[in-house]
């Protein structure tokens, strides 16, 4: 499998001579889940909208399970959210013993409570709204403003971001899939490994199509969604792509046969993901050394992949955490 970091993935736009620092503090990265879910009031699953600061999603789920005296399997969430951020997201708890007061969890406060007849499922959101601040800007603000105007009108490559891969998750996933996939792994860890490997294979295909200029073009035999080109999330079954589109996928994954075969034998089915993502409602405020962005992205898209097309961003925090 070809090895390169997310930072090395090819860009669509040429780099600007502008730099900025990102995530100096959690408040510089704010994300709020967007959902169309209607709560029916049936007292089976308690839904909590929480605001978490400096904590990751699985840890918050563990703390909620303890506070409400539940097993972790009875706590669900729709999407993973970054740790080094202020994030608002929903959790559901099956038949909890409801505390009279707010759960005492560091960095977490409950914003809303409601009831629903079924649990919250992974991916059950429409998107995420972001408010992101970059500080210590250095370079031409005129060029930066022009770039933002462009990005308000056109899509960018829909790569999986660094948060999906973490620090060692890809190496651990490859080791597990090649030698231990027949051994039992905890549900969360197994799901993480599979999603990491599928994400990396998708990034390889998208990187190839960015390089050959076809990432935002519907080729002959393209498997489309919303009339836009897609790439593979690997698993069992035949690819929906045909002709030219299929030939390119096969070419860019030619060295990955071991991983493709392994993913086909763990029970996953083929799926697709859009090759491009479009930020909606992109607005910005700029001063001499600070940029404040607000925009929304569809679910599963990474705000950091939009930032890398804006300017050279220096991450103030070295740790990456899986996002949603």
Q: How far apart are CA 302 and CA 88, in angstroms?
A: 16
Q: How far apart are CA 107 and CA 60, in angstroms?
A: 9
Q: How confident is the model at residue 262 (pLDDT cuts 50, 70, 90)?
A: confident
**β-sheet bridge partners, residue 323:** none
Residue 267: strand, helix, or coil: coil
Q: How confident is the model at residue 1 (pLDDT cuts 50, 70, 90)?
A: low
**82 annotated active-site:** yes
Look-up: residue for tokens 């029916």? 40
More confident residue, 74 or 171: 74
Q: What is the pTM of this model?
A: 0.92
Q: How far apart are CA 310 and CA 216, in angstroms?
A: 18
Q: How confident is the model at residue 323 (pLDDT cuts 50, 70, 90)?
A: very low
Look-up: residue for tokens 């001499």? 288
> Would you say residue 282 has pLDDT above 70?
yes
Torsion of CA 13, 16, 19, 25, to 10 degrees: -30
Q: What is the mean pLDDT of residues 211-236?
A: 97
**C-alpha 112 chain-centroid distance:** 24
Q: What is the pLDDT of residue 320?
A: 45
Q: What is the mean pLDDT of residues 135-163?
A: 95
Buried b (16+ CB within 10 A) or exposed e, 157-174: bbbbbbbbbbeebbeebb
Q: Top-level CATH class of 155-277?
A: alpha beta
Catalytic site residue from 28, 40, 74, 82:
82
Q: Could you say which DSSP state residue 120 is in?
A: -
Q: Where are the domains of the chain?
A: 36-125, 155-277
Q: What is the mean pLDDT of residues 111-118?
A: 94
- Token readout for 206 is 């998208």
How high does pLDDT run on average in the chain?
A: 91
Q: What is the CATH number of domain 36-125?
A: 3.30.2350.20
* Fold agreement (36-125, 155-277): no
Q: What are phi and psi of 167, to 5 degrees?
A: -85, -45
Q: How far apart are CA 153 and CA 44, in angstroms?
A: 44
- Which of 27-36, 101-110, 145-154, 276-285 shows the lowest mean pLDDT across its residues? 101-110
Residue 158: strand, helix, or coil: coil
């Amino acid at each position: 499998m070809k090895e390169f970091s997310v930072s090395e993935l090819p860009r669509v736009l040429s780099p600007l001579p502008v730099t900025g620092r990102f995530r100096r503090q959690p408040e510089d990265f704010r994300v709020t889940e967007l959902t169309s879910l209607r709560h029916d009031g049936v007292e089976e699953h308690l839904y909590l909208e929480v605001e978490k600061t400096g904590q990751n999603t699985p840890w918050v789920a563990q703390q909620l399970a303890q506070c409400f005296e539940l097993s972790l399997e009875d706590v669900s969430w729709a999407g993973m959210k970054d740790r080094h951020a202020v994030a608002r997201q929903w959790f559901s708890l099956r038949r909890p013993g409801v505390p009279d007061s707010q759960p005492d969890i560091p960095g977490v406060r409950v914003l809303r409570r409601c009831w629903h007849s079924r649990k919250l499922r992974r991916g059950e959101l429409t998107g995420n709204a972001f408010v992101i601040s970059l500080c210590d800007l250095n370079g031409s603000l005129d060029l930066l403003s022009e770039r933002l105007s462009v990005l308000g009108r056109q899509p960018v490559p829909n790569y999986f971001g660094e948060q999906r891969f973490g620090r060692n998750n890809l190496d651990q996933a490859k080791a597990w899939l090649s030698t231990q996939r027949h051994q039992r792994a905890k549900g969360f860890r197994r799901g993480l490994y599979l999603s990491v490997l599928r994400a990396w294979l998708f990034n390889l295909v998208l990187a190839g199509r960015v390089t050959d200029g076809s990432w935002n073009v519907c080729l002959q035999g393209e498997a489309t969604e919303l009339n836009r080109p897609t790439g593979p999330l690997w698993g069992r079954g035949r690819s929906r792509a045909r002709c030219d589109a299929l030939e390119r996928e096969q070419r860019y994954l030619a060295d990955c046969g071991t991983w493709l075969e392994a993913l086909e034998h763990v029970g996953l089915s083929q799926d697709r993901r859009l090759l491009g993502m479009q930020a909606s409602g992109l607005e910005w405020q700029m001063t001499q050394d600070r940029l404040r962005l607000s925009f929304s992205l569809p679910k599963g898209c990474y705000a950091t992949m939009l930032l890398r097309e804006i300017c050279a961003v220096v991450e103030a925090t070295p740790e990456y955490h899986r996002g949603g």
